[in-house]
Amino acid sequence: MAGLIKGQILKHLSKFTKNLNPDKINISTMKGEGDLSNLELDEVALMEVMDLPTWLRLTKAVCNRVAIKIQWTKLKTHPICIYLDEIVVEMETCSNPRDPTSSDSMANLPPAGKYGFAERIIDGIHLSINSVVVNFKAPAFQASIQMSRIFVTSKTPLWQNADLRLTRIKDDLRGEILIFKEMEWQTLRIEANALEGVHPNMATTPLRLIANQSKTRITIRKRLVDCSIIASRVQFHLDDLLWVLTDSQMRAAFLFANSLKEIIHKSSLKSKHLAAEKIQKQMSFGTTQGGGPQKAAPKP
């Protein structure tokens, strides 16, 4: 049984991870517990899923430990709990816009079927993350985002804790379902600082933004036929916001923005060019399939 579960985990996670093998997975089938260690994520697959802009590249994404808890006899009412210890992500700007990630690998995934029991279980997952660190590097500055004690849980339409069966609204007439998720964190810290030697007078004026005890409420509307997302709404609730902005930090913010302006402009131009090429190819393909304008048949 444990070997079968390991095989299913490898089957699904191998699309988004690197160097994943059964030795890293520990499972206790009867207890409904398992854990993974030193999980290294596939940067290309993540960029496809997140649809990152072409001026930004993901260079590293790792998680030191993942634990899971499943209550087999209460799957309808109690969520599967996934616990992640520490996630480290590294990003950098591109000197020239990269080519958009291909969607071939995502297209090869098996199509989602009708919304059913398995989808209800997945949508009800409870996620707990001890800390997330995102390091961002650009030619003129470096920045970091640090979040601690993150919880993602299912809520009722009134944003209360309850039985999983009360955390969704199903409309059979429209063929849609509403799902309510809430993400809260204990501390969010964003910091940006000029690289040494680029702007010497700004090296000691980093930008800092701190938000404590905040939450994000997400409402997702899905189609029952194929589980596709029709629409979503995101609400931010910030309890305590600390932001000290001096004149020198304001100048630093403008310089940081200007340093990204050129690469973002290049990325926008490249995206428009690729979109125009795609439309041109589709028009050419349609003309070829249609056979072009029909010539009048000669009179007898």
Whether the CA torsion 156, 161, 164, 165 is positive or negative: it is negative
Q: So what's the pLDDT on residue 99?
A: 76
In tens, the pLDDT along 208-219 reads: 888 888 899 999
> Hey, which bits of the chain come out as E strands?
17-18, 25-28, 33-41, 56-69, 81-93, 126-137, 141-154, 168-171, 176-194, 207-223, 229-237, 240-242
Q: Is the pLDDT of residue 35 over 70?
A: yes
Does the pLDDT at position 130 exceed 90?
yes
Please give the pLDDT value at position 105.
46
b vs e for 141-161, b when ≥16 Cβ sit within 10 Å of the residue's Cβ?
bbbbbebbebebbbbeeeeee
Other Cβ atoms closer than 10 A to 127 = 16
CA–CA gap between residue 29 and residue 93 (Å, rounded): 44
Of all residues in the chain, the percent with pLDDT exceeding 90 is 28
Cβ-proximal residues to 197 (8 Å cutoff; 6+ apart), any chain: none
pTM, full prediction: 0.75
CA atoms within 13 A on the CB side of 190: 8
pLDDT above 70 covers a percentage of the chain that reads 82
The rounded distance, in Å, linking the Cα atoms of 153 and 123 is: 10
Token pair, residue 278, equals 């795609």
Per-residue pLDDT of 219-265, as tens digits, reads: 999 999 988 888 889 998 888 777 777 877 787 788 888 888 888 88
CA separation for the pair 35, 14 (Å, rounded): 16
pLDDT digits (tens, 9 = 90+) for 69-124: 888 888 889 998 989 999 999 999 888 887 776 544 444 445 557 888 888 888 89
Res 152: pLDDT: 94
What is the token pair recorded at 141? Answer: 């500055």
DSSP state of 9: H
Higher pLDDT, 170 or 289: 170
pLDDT at 114: 85
